[in-house]
Amino acid sequence: MTRAALRGGVALLSLAVLLGGRPAKADPYLRWYTVETPHFRVHYHSGLDETAQRTASLAEAIRERLTTALGKAPGEVTHIRIKDFSDSANGDAAAVPYNAIRLLATAPEELSSLGDYDDWMTTLVTHEQTHVFHIDTYSGAAAILNALLGKTYAPNQEQPHWILEGLAVSMESRFTSGGRLRSPLYDMYLRADVLEHRAVPLDVMSHNVRRWPQGDVWYLYGGRFIGWILDTYGPDTFAAVAADYGSNVIPWGLNRSIRRATGRTYPELYEGWLKSLEETYAAQAASVRARGLRVGSRLTHGGRVAASPRFAPACARRGAREEILYYRDDGHIPSGFYRLPLASRTEAGEGDLEIVARAEGSALSASFDSGCGIVFDAVAPSERLQSFYDLHRQPPGTRSAMGGRGSRERWTTGMRARSPDVSPDGRQIAFVTNHPRAASARSGGWFRARAPSKRSRRGSHPTAGASPTARGPVGATATSASSTSAREPSSR
């Protein structure tokens, strides 16, 4: 190779590195460990020992249960990685190039679409392991190709999301006493669509969905639809479908595989399922109307999320009219806490809507303190750049429309604090905290903290006066943290 060619190669390599973006971030202070079982390798970082040991035991038990419903179990070890870098509850799975499950340790909040569970880690591992079972089912030409080149081709992965996620939602509900098929929140979403003649068509559901509830449509419609197929045609129906589809040389013959198992195509089955929903929900609606309806007045029309409304005290209003402060995330304007003037108790002036504090998270909440400031929760980076909920304050008469800049005060850092409620005298704040060991029960516990003094509010650092004392869980089954200072826990 010539010197000029070498220089050119180095230049191209440097350009590729620049275009490739930053490497994935990792916390250098964490130590990683592995629990080994006959069929799993559970990788976890310091602070998650108990969660990892329990996950390893659950994974083996869940594997046996899924084998009865989905047929052949994966023939290779599945790697499970658990981390606790976020207050979001989630997970994902893959079977190419090897079987892998990635889990976040925290449990969902109770009003989440994931909130209907008996034991969160059991539900999560069941859901994600279903994906591995499903995608790892292949034979014929796919098996020969993978034997020659390594696992590179899995026909069952080439299907619409509603099939992949719908089967996993069905299994999480079948093998636990919770699951989204039992969720009253999901049932409400689906009932509203059906009664208003707005059911999502099958072709729309088979692509990225823009309408409410966006990606949840795959889980909502897919889970209920596939659950109906299993109830109608037998619990082993999708074991046969997965085996047939996994033998395809060329994927996407979706209707061939389901017709061989049920005698009907997906569009035909979907039409029948929707008709059954129309009958069920029409009977429910008629029963409710017979008892008499009590209908409130609609104040907002933004759609998506409008949560946690509070009447603003007189000292926090811009004028003489009553005002409501609420969290809004409509997908069109920045999410955050908005001030909404009321023309009356049944009519709002949405034209005068004004953002008070930009904030991101799931259904955030706020409370007014004795000085007419707003104490609220929002996702923010911790000292080690992890995404946790923390408490913030917006002083009266100010706004932070661009987020955590300017006048906003941050009261906690890395404390994972949510749902603040200021006492009437303004001297104490009740709030919920989240901890990874609560992931197998309910997320969080109630704590009480002294509100920071005016002097200690200055600056951006957490105040010494905000050190909460444990009051013990109230209305929650999770164990409260042993360390409840407003500083970031050392294990994070």
pLDDT of residue 435: 76
pLDDT of residue 446: 56
The span from the CA of 333 to the CA of 331, in Å, is 6
> How much is the pTM?
0.84
pLDDT of residue 197: 96
Q: What is the mean pLDDT of residues 173-196?
A: 96
Q: String of b and e for 321-349 (b: at least 16 CB within 10 Å)?
A: ebbbbbbbbbeeeebbbbbbbbeeeeebe
pLDDT of residue 7: 42
pLDDT at 438 over 70: no
pLDDT of residue 29: 83
pLDDT at 466 over 90: no
Pairing of strands 40-45, 78-83: parallel
Domain segments of the chain as ranges: 30-285, 305-470
Categorize the per-residue pLDDT at 471 as very low, low, confident or very high, splitting at 50, 70 and 90. Answer: very low
pLDDT of residue 190: 97
pLDDT of residue 349: 87
- Give the model confidence (pLDDT) of 253-300 as tens digits: 999 999 999 999 999 999 999 999 999 999 999 999 999 998 899 999
- Give the model confidence (pLDDT) of 23-68 as tens digits: 445 678 899 999 999 999 999 999 999 999 999 999 999 999 999 9
Categorize the per-residue pLDDT at 453 as very low, low, confident or very high, splitting at 50, 70 and 90. Answer: low
pLDDT at 334 over 90: yes
pLDDT of residue 2: 44
Question: In whole numbers, what is the pLDDT of the chain averaged over residues?
Answer: 85
pLDDT at 224 over 80: yes
pLDDT of residue 475: 29
Nearest C-alpha neighbor of 351 from the set 321, 372, 313, 373: 321
Categorize the per-residue pLDDT at 437 as very low, low, confident or very high, splitting at 50, 70 and 90. Answer: low
- Give the model confidence (pLDDT) of 304-328 as tens digits: 999 999 999 999 998 899 999 999 9
Categorize the per-residue pLDDT at 478 as very low, low, confident or very high, splitting at 50, 70 and 90. Answer: very low
The span from the CA of 398 to the CA of 318, in Å, is 11
pLDDT at 474 over 70: no
pLDDT of residue 480: 31
Percent of the chain with pLDDT over 90: 72
Q: Which CATH architecture has domain 30-285?
A: Orthogonal Bundle (1.10)
The span from the CA of 222 to the CA of 226, in Å, is 6
- Give the model confidence (pLDDT) of 139-163 as tens digits: 999 999 999 999 999 999 999 999 9
pLDDT at 441 over 80: no
Tokens 């943290």 — which residue?
A: 481
Contact between 431 and 412 (Cβ < 8 Å) = no
Categorize the per-residue pLDDT at 448 as very low, low, confident or very high, splitting at 50, 70 and 90. Answer: low
Tell me the torsion sign for CA atoms 65, 67, 71, 74.
positive
Supply 36's token pair. 């080994």
Contact between 441 and 122 (Cβ < 8 Å) = no
